[in-house]
Structure 1
Amino acid sequence: MKKNNSTFLKLNTLVAALMTATAVQAAPVYDQDGKTVEFNVEGMAGVFSTEENYNGVDDGGNFWQEGYLKGDLVGRNATGSGTVYGGLGVIALGTGGDGDAGGYTSGDESELKIENAFIGWQSSNGVFDLSVGRQQFTLGDGFIIAGDAISLGDMGIPGIDVDRGGAYYLAGQKSFDRTAVLKIDPEGPVRGDLFWLQSDNPYHQDTELGGVNLEWVDDAKGALGLSYMSVLDVDKGTAFGIWDQRDGMDIISLRGQGSMGVENLFLSFEYVNESGGDTAVKNDANAWYVEGGWTFADLPWSPTLNYRHGKFSGDDSSTANNEAFDPLFFGFTRGFGTWFQGEVASNYAGPANSGNDVDRIEVTLQPRDDLTVGLQYWDFGKDADAADLAGSEVDLYVLWSINDNVVFSPMLGYYKPDGADVIANQSNDDGNLYLQAVLMYFY
């Protein structure tokens, strides 16, 4: 087994800092005459193990550690015309041990950097909210935008620098480098956003995009959303060069989520179309999913049964267009499997929301108010001429809320490759046993 003792010590230090933070209750720094300053803390630390990896060499699995600790000062000043607010935060993060099973980190990453730096103004009636700076932005359910969360490390590839500090799985960095976001929320069911986002993530080749979002929201029935956006610029030829094709691309998203007024029912869907572009080969891709769930509230432990089917188009070599769906800035939103689908598949083995269809069945139980147990089954197939990354996966996870601030989440997963390309990446067709344990702190 590969070892990296120096970085392991760095991660131990980071984990120790996180554990210390869990024992300290953060408090408002200042609160007087409509002026407030608060200090917020978020941290995660995890250990991970796999029996296999996906570097194309049959050299066993990986054992690694990840952690991040993030602190933010957020201030607000209420005036007669509205409220001025702002935030400034830093994040420390890193990876130790062997690095992750996908080879996106080496186990020798650690970094301290600014994560948030923004200012904003909200009108006194709450209708308008304008903010600019370095901050997070999520669109709808996070199917295509859930912050700028991909955080690679030192991959050791000559001439390619994608190192963002590591902590790849935990994905603590979510803020876009530069943003301008106007939220409009008048009385009634309709609200909207105008947004401009600029990434400084080398993996995303510093993608810049702008768009508009409209939503109809009914607290009892659910929400419908319609968005349009366009990719304004991409730093072509940098990093892996895999996102050159998104330059000038237009994106339309139609989505909905809610209960339709039926207690214990959950419904969700989204359809995304990608077209055009400034490159010689034009984009003509799409992705969609439909999801339904039911909570058996009268049964012991309130079991919930959920099913989802999704399809992400792959390139068709017989056409002059590019049909490979670009998943953009998807991320973790409402729980495991949204939108990193399958803990092994989406994070390490592939596919990752492009050139595949996917089915998921999930059962969750709640034995106690502070304890949730979930079991997910995943089936992945390929679409069109995309790489054959077909496979199946089972994930068993627990979410234990130790107190109001601390959550502990162990997970056991088993992944079985079926497609020729993922078998080649794994260098065998064996099942892969995956173990992780993550401690989370929020205040």
Structure 2
Amino acid sequence: MRYHSILGVITLAGLTAHAQALPLIDTPDTHVSVEGLAAYGLFDSRKRYDGGEGGKHWREGFIKYGLKGDTRMADAGTLYGAFALVSSATWGDGDAGGFTDGSERTTKIEDAYLGWRSADLFPAFGQDGVDFSFGRQVYKVGRGFLINDDGPNLGKGVADGSLNRGGAYYLGARHAFDRTAVLRLGGEQGWHGSAAWLKSDNRAQAEPELSVVDLQYTQTIGTLAATWIHGLDVSRRFASEFQQRRDGMNVYGLRAEGNAGIDNASFAAEYALQDAQGDQARAWYLEAGYRFADLLWAPTLTARYTRYGQNWDSLLTGYSTGYGTWFQGEVAANYAGPFNSNTAVSHLGLKANPLEALTLGVLFFDFRTLGDRQVRNLDGRELDLFAEWAVSPHLIVTPLIGLYRPERSAADGGSQSGGNGTNLYSQLTVAVPF
């Protein structure tokens, strides 16, 4: 199961919801602002992956709106917090994977948290080197390979609607964990890290409860980090047999990222081991990229290989640093599968900037199923072409076309209905930060 996030597009365009905030109070010590984001998308898929015939045509939208603020207390650090609602919907046929049916409409609380930063009270940890927060908020580990946030956003199309979060499946309207307590120590250099308790209210994830410890060491050339995740509980009501293993699961991860001292280069790698009631699974990736700064449009070339074990639980991964992270292929990762388990993915990406506010990209993915015992064969290839255009600080437009070709159809052990011919998928999303 996959969800996207239009927030990631805004980040890539060099904009954030904070930059568009409307100030209510703006003094040297206190800041309170109204923040919001509206997003709307048009989607079309010539093929479908829910067992039906024909194509799918649908629309998605959401609006997030609320308050965010902070106040500096004399010799006592800084208090901060936020409260926001999200209204979301899906219209039309529902998505090509059958996770929504087009009738979803919901308004719910998204952000509701309070926090405290230490200012210069603890010099050993640096400026604001102690940061504690609790409530309903997003928590992320590294590049989001293991934990990015609390998606996905399913609708009424599966499980008789019992997993419905209100639509906007692709746009990813909701991200925050229902209950959290997060302690961050240290700055951005040297030793630093975080410890967190997370409780999800996402029924599609079986409402897991987790503890997380993440320790990092950062220098100019990059970051080395180690992560431990321990599963505390899941909802027996909503957990599949596979998800029940999260209760008591341990996940151990090592990662590295940086430029290794090479200008315009980027490298990243992560390795993780899951131990679920004695059943072990592994996932890892290697990635290298280079920006040709002296060439026309300064193109960036990226190559990556990812491998998810046959019994790998994708946990709380999500859209992280751009298209293809960490769900790879807009058709495959959203609708057709594979869904970050029992697969190896080879990826090549090319991005360029003909204008400062315009990014053009081409992404290629090759999917190979690792094991074929009583599972669907989801071998296939996908080519995605997209643009990210920040028309203004209050308007970001992102068209995308995807060409997905599975090796097998649903009738032959795959997932695509109507044969294994190439699916033409298209979308146009518009975001309005305010």
TM (normalized to structure 1)?
0.88
Task: Return closer, same or farther for 1:102/1:240 CA change in 2, 3 Å cut-off.
Answer: farther
Q: How does 1:17-166 map to 2 (within 5 A)?
A: 26-32=21-27, 34-57=29-52, 59-79=53-73, 80-125=75-120, 126-155=128-157, 157-158=159-160, 161-166=162-167
Task: Return closer, same or farther for 1:285/1:403 CA change in 2, 3 Å cut-off.
Answer: same
Q: How does 1:258-273 map to 2 (within 5 A)?
A: 258-273=258-273
Does the 8 Å contact 1:245/1:283 carry over to 2? no
Task: Return closer, same or farther for 1:340/1:156 CA change in 2, 3 Å cut-off.
Answer: closer
Residue type of the partner of 1:287?
A
1:245-302 C-alpha deviation (Å, 9 max, x unpaired): 222100011111111121111111111110133xxxx320010000111111111111
- Who is 1:441 aligned against? 432
Residue type of the partner of 1:75?
G
Give the CA deviation at 1:238: 1.6
State which drifts further: 297-306 or 422-431.
422-431
Task: Return closer, same or farther for 1:390/1:187 CA change in 2, 3 Å cut-off.
Answer: closer
Equivalents in 1 of 2:54, 2:188: separation in Å?
Answer: 58
TM (normalized to structure 2)?
0.90
Equivalents in 2 of 1:208, 1:262: separation in Å?
Answer: 40
Give the CA deviation at 1:442: 2.9
Residue type of the partner of 1:264?
N
Equivalents in 2 of 1:413, 1:44: separation in Å?
Answer: 20
1:367-392 C-alpha deviation (Å, 9 max, x unpaired): 11111100011100011245311111
Q: Per the alignment, in what secondary structure is the counterpart of residue 173 of structure 2? A: coil
- Who is 2:414 aligned against? 423
Percent sequence identity is 37
State which drifts further: 237-246 or 77-86.
237-246
Residue type of the partner of 2:319?
F
Give the CA deviation at 1:404: 2.4
Equivalents in 2 of 1:105, 1:241: separation in Å?
Answer: 23
Task: Return closer, same or farther for 1:209/1:156 CA change in 2, 3 Å cut-off.
Answer: closer
Give the CA deviation at 1:32: 3.2
Residue type of the partner of 2:207?
D
- Who is 2:6 aligned against? none
Equivalents in 2 of 1:84, 1:91: separation in Å?
Answer: 24
Q: Per the alignment, in what secondary structure is the counterpart of residue 172 of structure 1? A: coil
Q: Per the alignment, in what secondary structure is the counterpart of residue 426 of structure 1? A: coil
Equivalents in 2 of 1:41, 1:313: separation in Å?
Answer: 39
Equivalents in 1 of 2:279, 2:89: separation in Å?
Answer: 36
Q: Per the alignment, in what secondary structure is the counterpart of residue 29 of structure 1? A: strand
Q: Per the alignment, in what secondary structure is the counterpart of residue 378 of structure 2? A: coil
- Who is 1:212 aligned against? 213
Give the CA deviation at 1:26: 4.1
Q: How does 1:315-394 map to 2 (within 5 A)?
A: 324-384=311-371, 385=373, 386-394=375-383
Does the 8 Å contact 1:63/1:99 carry over to 2? yes
- Who is 2:385 aligned against? 396
1:210-262 C-alpha deviation (Å, 9 max, x unpaired): 011101112x3121111101010011242655411222100011111111121
Task: Return closer, same or farther for 1:312/1:187 CA change in 2, 3 Å cut-off.
Answer: closer
Does the 8 Å contact 1:162/1:239 carry over to 2? no
- Who is 1:253 aligned against? 253
Does the 8 Å contact 1:145/1:328 carry over to 2? yes
- Who is 1:17 aligned against? none
Residue type of the partner of 1:83?
T
Residue type of the partner of 1:274?
Q
Runs of 4+ aligned structure 1 residues displaced above 6 Å come to none
Equivalents in 2 of 1:241, 1:436: separation in Å?
Answer: 35
- Who is 1:298 aligned against? 294
Does the 8 Å contact 1:203/1:240 carry over to 2? no
Equivalents in 2 of 1:355, 1:213: separation in Å?
Answer: 26
- Who is 1:19 aligned against? none
Equivalents in 1 of 2:339, 2:173: separation in Å?
Answer: 19
1:339-365 C-alpha deviation (Å, 9 max, x unpaired): 110000000000011000000111111
Does the 8 Å contact 1:258/1:267 carry over to 2? yes
Does the 8 Å contact 2:377/2:414 carry over to 1? no
Does the 8 Å contact 2:99/2:158 carry over to 1? no
- Who is 1:3 aligned against? none
Residue type of the partner of 2:69?
G
Q: Per the alignment, in what secondary structure is the counterpart of residue 204 of structure 2? A: helix
Q: Per the alignment, in what secondary structure is the counterpart of residue 95 of structure 2? A: coil
Q: How many residue pairs get matched?
A: 405
Residue type of the partner of 2:106?
E
